[in-house]
Amino acid sequence: MPQTAAWAARIRQELVGNILPFWMRHAVDRENGGFYGAIDENLNVDVKAERSAVLNARILWTFAAASRLIGNEYRGLADWAYDTITNRFLDLQDGGLFWMLDYRGNPVSTRKQTYAQAFGIYALSEYFRATGNAASLDHAKRLFQLIEEHDRDPVCKGYLEARARDWRPLADMRLSPKDLNSPKSMNTHLHLLEAYTNLLRVWRDPTLAARQSELLELTMDCIVDPLSGHFRLFFDQEWNSLSDHRSYGHDIEGSWLIVEAAEVLDDAKLIKRARTLAVMMAGSVYEQGLDQDGSLFYEADAQGRLVDPKKHWWAQAEAVVGFYYAFQVSGDRRFLDASRRVWDYIEAKVVDKVHGEWHAKLSPEGVVLTAAEDPDAQLAGPWKCPYHNARLCYEMIGRLEEETSGKRTS
């Protein structure tokens, strides 16, 4: 029990002493509005960098959750982020969220990426949870309706990756240049599942519940490989897999998001199946994805040969939560030990003790990578945000303090 309380205190200090203050001090653009699109590894701000919907929606979710779970001192930044999403990213003509804006708030990429709409739902639902703002819930509901109307595949099930501004088909639907141009992906479905989970917490709509049940079963039936316990990553329209790579960070993240989705649906059969699958997935990552120092490798091929052995910040964060979930479900203490070891690695290597926030990537040996070595080495960017590491803190503080007090805030 004392160890658990001490661990919770360390995580809370990281959240309120480093992660949240970094974004409050360095990311807010008071001149042009919104949040800066890029901050490099040395804390240099690129004022004119483009601003992504993903970054801004994740900031909204982070500070809405902080104001709800930690304290009202974070409400001001949550309000600022909400105004940014609703007054800049929302397309008043065709609905949905723009993918990218310039630094003055003008759309530069008007495509409707399903992934971005999902994070809009996730964030707006959380803002409603924190504030009771009815307009926020209305916006989240409208995004849900647009996704169901334009992106859902009624024949093969699941959701298409992207549409044009007016919701017409796109030839190139990729989420990023690194991805395959496939009509469906694990990543989009995982975060849509996460978004619908949060919306269902505040809106027990029968259609939403039915779509979420369908999505969860689809994830467990088609996206998780039942033999390996890993996610398949990219698919054609009929759910034939187009890649044999394994993404350890997504596997361990998905393991606990599947359980969360089933629990919020409150379906006993789905909960039982999701928990069994989560332990299997965590076991596969434990056996194949962990380095000897306790950190998580990023990606491998079907034979387990490392394709990307780097240590990505967000994957380490998800490993702490995913392994702890697996421990709570199974009682297997190797998962508890794995969760603690990844956290120790984060504290020792990933946290940027000079500038604040977390380093984006480390070498396999645990050396911080610079922008010259990896273009993703940023403190803030289109994908580098406080969502994964702040969420780690919210989840773990709640679960660890539950152990010490018998109460849980979720």
Q: What is the pLDDT of residues 46-83, one digit of tens each?
A: 999 999 999 999 999 999 999 999 999 999 999 999 99
**With contact defined as beta carbons under 8 Å apart, do 143 and 89 qualify?**
no
- Give the integer Cα–Cα distance in Å for 195 and 122: 4
pTM over cut 0.95? yes
**With contact defined as beta carbons under 8 Å apart, do 180 and 174 qualify?**
yes
**With contact defined as beta carbons under 8 Å apart, do 277 and 220 qualify?**
yes
Q: Select from 298, 272, 271 the least CA-distant residue to 285.
A: 298
Which 8-state DSSP code applies to residue 408? -
**With contact defined as beta carbons under 8 Å apart, do 399 and 328 qualify?**
yes
With a pLDDT cut of 70, the percent of the chain lying above it is: 98
Give the per-residue pLDDT at 140: 99
At 203, give phi and psi (nearest 5°).
-145, 95
Give the per-residue pLDDT at 404: 80
- Give the integer Cα–Cα distance in Å for 229 and 150: 31
Q: Which helix (H) or strand (E) holds 273?
A: helix 268-288
- Give the integer Cα–Cα distance in Å for 61 and 2: 31
- Give the integer Cα–Cα distance in Å for 59 and 23: 8
Give the number of C-alpha atoms closer than 13 A to the C-alpha of residue 112, restricted to the C-beta side.
Answer: 24
Q: Quote the tokens at residue 110.
A: 């008007």
- Give the integer Cα–Cα distance in Å for 275 and 202: 23
Cα-Cα-Cα-Cα torsion 174, 179, 183, 185, nearest 10 degrees, comes to -120
Low-confidence stretches of the chain (pLDDT < 70) are: 1-2, 406-410
Give the ranges where 107-236 is alpha helix by DSSP (H).
Answer: 114-131, 134-150, 186-202, 206-218
Rg (CA), the chain: 20
Give the per-residue pLDDT at 405: 75
Give the per-residue pLDDT at 407: 56
Give the per-residue pLDDT at 301: 96
- Give the integer Cα–Cα distance in Å for 226 and 350: 33
Q: Quote the tokens at residue 229.
A: 């316990």
